[in-house]
Amino acid sequence: MSSPQLPNYLKANRKRLALSQDEVAFLLGTRSGAKISRYERFAREPSLRTALAFEVVYKRSTSELFAGLYQKVEGEVTERAKILSERKDFGKPSSQSVRKREAFADLAAS
Amino acid sequence: MTKTLPKYPRILGIALSTRGLGFALLEGQNILADWGLKAIDGDKNNGSIARVREMIEHYEPDVLVLEDTSIKPFRRSTRIRMLTKRIIFRAEKRNVTVLLFPREQVSRTFVPDGHGTKHQIAQIIADKFSDELGFRLPPKRVPWKSEDARMDMFGAVALALMPRSFISAVLLSIPPVDREQVLRDRG
């Protein structure tokens, strides 16, 4: 067992590149470093566009940069997949329903 | 009450100094998740405690590592010794496990002969975390200049690395057959 990961590693990656919050804000096309500070303090979650911009700046995948958030979302999706995989009403057995059942089972097992 | 720590606990290392404090957060298998310096103006002890409290609330570490300042002859000032005690008290109140390592043990862990200088230890750490800290290693101190503030940051990383080094050292002192058993028990 290990501790759950931090929601994001934006601060560590910014420090790794010796960038200031204002410089990152400029690269991301936002007005001030205050927004970056809020992301780094886990007070705000960025939009998809901003998350992708972070990926470009820090050269790390989004799931790596937002590891804790990814872990949380993964857990939630897995739980929902379990509910769907236990459903009986998949309709007539067909190659499509078999494929769907496999997909849910695969997600539920992850 | 005993507390079970995760296999890879989140470790916060704090190095207290005359200027304020250096800190380092280790996570997983030696991932440096945050590091830096906090310069404290005015009331240094209350300021330092406020910063440590903020970091504990923000990062929720499993373990807090500090220098053991209680060993005689005292090498640290009364202020730092009092501050260490107050931080231990605050951290334990928040259910954070506190580990203390004397300076000599930290030195022996990084430089086996036990005579390692702060700069030698910092150099080892800068090599280990070259991407994050390589460019922040200060030049070797010359006798007529005061110590570079960045050394506190390297001191904090050294402390944060201690719990795992300590466990490895304990394991190395156990015969191989028993060691396998210990490792199995640890999961």
B7 touches chain A (CB under 8 A): yes
**B131 φ/ψ angles, rounded to the nearest 5 degrees:** -65, -40
pTM for the model? 0.84
Residue with tokens 């002192």, as numbered in its chain:
B173
How many angstroms separate the CA atoms of A41 and A21, rounded? 12
Q: Is the pLDDT of residue B164 over 80?
A: no
Put simply, the answer to whether B58 touches A16 (Cβ < 8 Å) is no
CB distance B87 to B53 below 8 Å: no
Confidence grade of residue A86 (pLDDT, cut at 50, 70, 90): confident
Per residue in B60-113, pLDDT (tens digit) is 999 999 999 988 888 888 999 999 999 999 999 999 999 999 988 999 999 888
A3: three-class secondary structure by DSSP: coil
Give the model's pLDDT for residue B6: 77
Average pLDDT over residues A60-71: 95
Average pLDDT over residues A37-64: 96
Give the model's pLDDT for residue A51: 97
How many angstroms separate the CA atoms of B35 and A16, rounded? 10
- B15 pairs with which residues across the strands? B22
Hey, which residues 11-70 in chain B have their CB within 8 Å of chain A?
A: 27-28, 32-36, 58-59, 62
CB distance B67 to B100 below 8 Å: yes
How many angstroms separate the CA atoms of B68 and A15, rounded? 29
How many angstroms separate the CA atoms of B144 and A94, rounded? 82
Choice between A109 and B29, residue whose per-residue pLDDT is larger: A109
Q: Which of B4, B5, B30, B31 to mutate to test the interface with A (most CBs of A within 10 A)?
A: B31
Per residue in A26-45, pLDDT (tens digit) is 999 998 899 999 999 999 99
Q: Please, which contacts does A34-43 make with residues 24 or more away whose CB atoms are closer than 8 Å?
A: A36/A10, A39/A8, A39/A10, A40/A8, A40/A10, A40/A11, A40/A14, A41/B58, A42/A6, A42/A7, A42/A8, A42/B58
Give the model's pLDDT for residue B187: 46
Give the model's pLDDT for residue B5: 73
B156 touches chain A (CB under 8 A): no
Q: Is the pLDDT of residue A57 over 60?
A: yes
Give the model's pLDDT for residue B144: 92
Residue B164: C-alpha distances to residues A71, B7, B15, B169 (Å): 25, 10, 17, 9
Q: Is the pLDDT of residue A91 over 90?
A: no
Give the model's pLDDT for residue A89: 72
Confidence grade of residue B23 (pLDDT, cut at 50, 70, 90): very high
Q: How far is B46 from chain A (nearest CA, A)?
A: 22
Q: Considering only CB atoms, which chain B residues are within 8 Å of A41?
A: 58
How many angstroms separate the CA atoms of A76 and A70, rounded? 10
